[in-house]
């Protein structure tokens, strides 16, 4: 079940060229060369001539949905998405940040993607574990089948064995490492606020330099802001230079959300964002 990356790259180029030439979109969000093959970068193709610069290989992990909200509302955009990325697109549509009709979604089924930092295959337990995009207009390659898909919550087994105090200690220790580079926030498709709460001065929600209290304030609030919205791409954790396993918290919250409200972020366009949608039949467990 090995993925033919070259084949996908070619198809991506062909489709991007067609879309730009036919004027169906004004930009294509894809990947381009970085300083070496292990570090491809997000790339925006604006005309047919740009298309030659597009690359796709096993290091193209960045979630391009991150860039959708940068363009003026109504811009026609084509975007290359892998499984979790497509969920980010869905979530952004639910939040009315973008409109379905302005998008051409180029879906890429993948497995065996690698982490640029380590060169190793990414443990699918740290992501949503899906192979195929949930939403696409054009599929670049065959759907991946065969391996049983793991539960996105498997990785929590160890974490959940800890009691309340142990978890608190765990997070205090992990978050103390944070150097406040904000790479997690920059990588995240759902962190689109400008200015982010933590950058504000009136009121000042938390210390801005890296220190325990400010770090806790930033991360606990960010976790909270992503409750029911994180689509489990794992980009934040991979972006983190000090390797904080942010995915653990996001997954734990996602699991509780699913148990309480029966909804998983970014799976259905017609869903309403979980935590700001009131339904009479909603569980009251959250109040207990």
Name the site residues for other proteins (rule: CB under 8 A): 73, 95-97, 192-197, 200, 202-203, 205, 225, 272-273, 275-278, 280
**CB-wise, 224 or 285, nearer to other proteins?**
224
What DSSP state is assigned to residue 45?
Answer: E
Reduced DSSP (H G I as helix, E B as strand, rest coil) percent helix, strand, coil of the chain, to 5: 40, 10, 50
User: Is 190 one of the binding residues for ligand SF4 (CB under 6 A)?
Assistant: yes
Site mask for ligand SF4 (CB under 6 A), range 229-268, x = bound: -xxxxxxx--xxxx-x--x--x------------------
What DSSP state is assigned to residue 154?
Answer: T
Residues 6+ away with beta carbon under 8 Å from 70: none
Burial of 197 (0-12, 13-18, 19+ CB in 10 A): middle
**CB-wise, 159 or 192, nearer to other proteins?**
192
Binding-site size for ligand SF4 (CB under 6 A) equals 33
Residues 6+ away with beta carbon under 8 Å from 30: 12, 16, 42, 43, 44, 45, 54, 56, 64, 79, 80, 106
Segment 148 to 167, residues that bind ligand SF4, using CB under 6 A: none
Q: What is the CA radius of gyration of the chain?
A: 19
Smallest separation, CB 200 to ligand SF4 (Å): 9
User: Residue from 44, 183, 267, 275 that binds ligand SF4 (CB under 6 A)?
Assistant: 183
Smallest separation, CB 193 to other proteins (Å): 4
Residue 88, both tokens: 């980010």
**CB-wise, 52 or 74, nearer to other proteins?**
74
* Site residues, ligand SF4 (CB under 6 A): 178-185, 187-191, 193, 196-197, 222, 225-226, 230-236, 239-242, 244, 247, 250
């Amino acid at each position: 079940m090995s993925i033919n990356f070259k084949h996908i790259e070619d198809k991506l180029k062909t489709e991007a060229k067609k879309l730009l030439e036919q004027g169906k979109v004004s930009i294509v969000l894809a990947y381009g060369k970085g300083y070496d093959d292990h570090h491809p970068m997000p790339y925006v193709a604006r005309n047919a001539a740009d298309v030659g610069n597009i690359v796709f290989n096993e290091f193209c992990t960045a979630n391009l949905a991150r860039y959708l909200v940068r363009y003026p509302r109504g811009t026609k955009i084509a975007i290359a998405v892998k499984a979790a990325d497509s969920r980010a697109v869905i979530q952004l549509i639910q939040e009315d940040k973008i409109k379905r009709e302005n998008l051409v979604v180029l879906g890429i089924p993948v497995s065996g993607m690698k982490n640029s930092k380590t060169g190793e295959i990414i443990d699918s337990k740290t992501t949503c574990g899906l192979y195929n995009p949930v939403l696409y207009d054009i599929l670049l390659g065959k759907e991946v089948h065969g391996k049983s898909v793991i539960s996105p919550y498997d990785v929590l087994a160890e974490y959940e064995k800890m009691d309340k105090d142990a978890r608190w200690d765990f997070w205090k220790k992990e978050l103390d490492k944070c150097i406040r580079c904000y790479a997690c926030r920059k990588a995240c498709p759902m962190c689109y606020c400008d200015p982010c709460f933590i950058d504000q001065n009136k009121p000042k929600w938390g210390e801005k330099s890296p220190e325990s209290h400010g770090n806790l304030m930033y991360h606990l609030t960010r976790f909270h802001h992503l409750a029911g919205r994180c689509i489990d791409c794992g980009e934040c954790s991979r972006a983190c230079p000090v390797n904080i396993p942010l995915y653990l918290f996001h997954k734990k919250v996602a699991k509780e959300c699913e148990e309480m409200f029966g909804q998983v972020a970014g799976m259905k366009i017609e869903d309403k964002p979980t935590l700001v949608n009131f339904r009479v039949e909603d569980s009251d467990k959250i109040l207990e």
